Structures are given as C-alpha cells and as structure tokens.
Homo-oligomer: A and B are copies of this chain.
Amino acid sequence: MVDSQTQFARLVVVGVGLIGGSIALAAKTRGIAKEVFGIGRNQERLAAAKERGVIDFYVTELSELSTADLVVICTPVNRIAKDVITALDALPADCLVTDAGSIKESLVHAVEEAQPENGRFLGAHPLAGSHQTGFENADPALYNGRLCVVTPTSTTHPNTVERVEGFWKALGMRVERMSPAEHDRVLAMTSHLPHLAASALAGLVDEEMLSFAASGFRDTTRVAAGDPDLWTAIFSENSRQVVDVTQLLIDKLQLLCDAISSGDQHALRQHLAEAQTLRRRFDQIHSM
C-alpha cells in the first residue's frame, strides 16, 4: 500500500488531540512514517500520549527539531496560521507542511503574506471529526474512506501538492482540490451553518421543555454540544461566508413561515419535498 513516495522518515504532528492523535496513529499503523513526533504545550499530556503509543517522541517547541519531512498542524483554527509559519521558518527547505483545519482562506492568505515565495505548504481539511476530544479518543480509522479537501494556490510547489496529497491518500482518504475561498463557501453551507442552526435551536429551549423533546430534537441539535471555543474560532475565521449563508437560512425560514401563516400548503409541501429529495440524495452519496 505504502510506496516510497508516500513515506516520510519523520512525521511531526503539532497539537496531539483527537485529530492529531488520530493522524499519528493512522500514520504509524499504516507504515506511512518511520517515526512520529508530537508537539504540544503540555508536557504531561504529551508524555501520556507517548505512553499510550499515539506518538513515538515529543518536544514542546518546533525549534527543538533540526529536521522533519512532513509537519501536520492540528491546532485550533485560530492558531494554525501562526503554527504553519513557525514550522516553515524553523525547519529545512525540504520539509513540507500541511494542516487539518476547517477554514482555509484566511489561513492560506496569512501564510502567503508571511512567506510569499515558499511553496512548501498545502492547506488541507480532512472531512471527518467527532464530538469527542483528546488523544484518548484518537482512532486510526477516523479518516478511512473519507474525503480530504486540499487547497493549492499558484504559489504551492507541484511537488508539495503531490507529496502532501499522497500523505492524505495513504491515510485512506479520497482527495479533492478546491480554491481556499470555494472550500470556505462550501463548508459554510455544509458544516458551519448546520452548527449555528443547531446551536440557535438548542439555545431557545426552556430547560423544563427538554423532557418533551425526542429523537428529532436530539439529532437536529446534537452538534450544539460541541466546544464553544472551537466554534467561536471557526465562525470568526470564516465570518463573511457564515454571515452570507445564515442570511440565506433566515430568508428561507421567513418564506416557510409566510407559507404556514398564509395557509399556502402547496408551497409549504413543495419546499419540504425538495428538502426531502436533497436529504435522501445525501444518504445515497454517503452510502456509496
């Protein structure tokens, strides 16, 4: 499965939480990396991750490493740009850098501003996750069969694109290329807006109503149990696109509201049928 093209002697994972831990475990399990270094701020947590076999070695600063072949930044979205730039600055010119963050335009822009001639960074967003956190819940199969969006630009070196795409594919993922802006527009609709809506819904309910909520409420609001800091950062980093799609949702809800209050059952039914068709299409696509 793994040829020399997709092998990395030293893989460095910055941020050894659920995502970084799952990438580290998958890379070790699949023989993609000879050794995996974990980098984080909390030495005790890093020692525990090593103890558990998630990483082979750890340091608390990238600058402590003299060499690496691939660095994957798995820190929260509002820290990724700084960590990518640090990695590009600290490591030799043959070391490639990628990330696992859910926002791409502001990140790619910040990296290109700081390192305009670089070409060694390829933004990536592996589309899988979990409401769990911490390397204790890391799962080497988390990314298997899932989609990874990568966002090369005119400044990304072709060798970087090829090698980093090879890394994500070697983890078992399908890779699709998009522009950073297109990625953020699509994810605003498919991920950020559902989260904002779930959170708005969950926040509206009086506590004493909760015992009258059943499986519809449970599923529709599930993601609202997610980390407020993480999602504040996501909405803030992708604010323009999130505001645009939220306005579309508000308009759609107002349309539905008008159809309900005016008794226009035909329009209401037509909308519900369209939504049903799209939702069933989602199940078809994802069961393939």
- Kindly state whether residue A86 has any CB partner on chain B within 8 Å: no
Number of copies: 2
Closest to A225 in B: B279
- Kindly state whether residue A129 has any CB partner on chain B within 8 Å: yes
- Kindly state whether residue A39 has any CB partner on chain B within 8 Å: no
Q: Which secondary structure dominates where chain A touches chain B? A: helix
- Kindly state whether residue A252 has any CB partner on chain B within 8 Å: yes
Please, how many angstroms separate the alpha-carbon atoms of A67 and B235 in the complex?
62
> Is B189 within 8 A of A228, CB to CB?
no
> Is B218 within 8 A of A286, CB to CB?
yes
- Kindly state whether residue A246 has any CB partner on chain B within 8 Å: yes
- Which residues 234-288 in A have Cβ within 8 Å of B in the complex? 235-236, 239, 242-243, 245-250, 252-254, 256-257, 260-261, 263, 265, 268-269, 271-276, 278-283, 285-286
- Which residues 198-227 in A have Cβ within 8 Å of B in the complex? 198-207, 209-227
A111 to chain B, nearest CB (A): 22
> Is B212 within 8 A of A249, CB to CB?
no
The answer, among B190, B254, B260, B278, for a CB contact under 8 Å with A242, is: B260
> Is A245 within 8 A of B204, CB to CB?
yes
Contacts A205-B189, A265-B232 given; does A199 touch B271 at CB 8 Å:
yes
- Kindly state whether residue A127 has any CB partner on chain B within 8 Å: yes
Please, how many angstroms separate the alpha-carbon atoms of A62 and B169 in the complex?
63
> Is A260 within 8 A of B235, CB to CB?
yes
Binding site for B on A (CB under 8 A): 127-129, 146-147, 149, 176, 186-187, 189-191, 193-207, 209-229, 231-232, 235-236, 239, 242-243, 245-250, 252-254, 256-257, 260-261, 263, 265, 268-269, 271-276, 278-283, 285-286
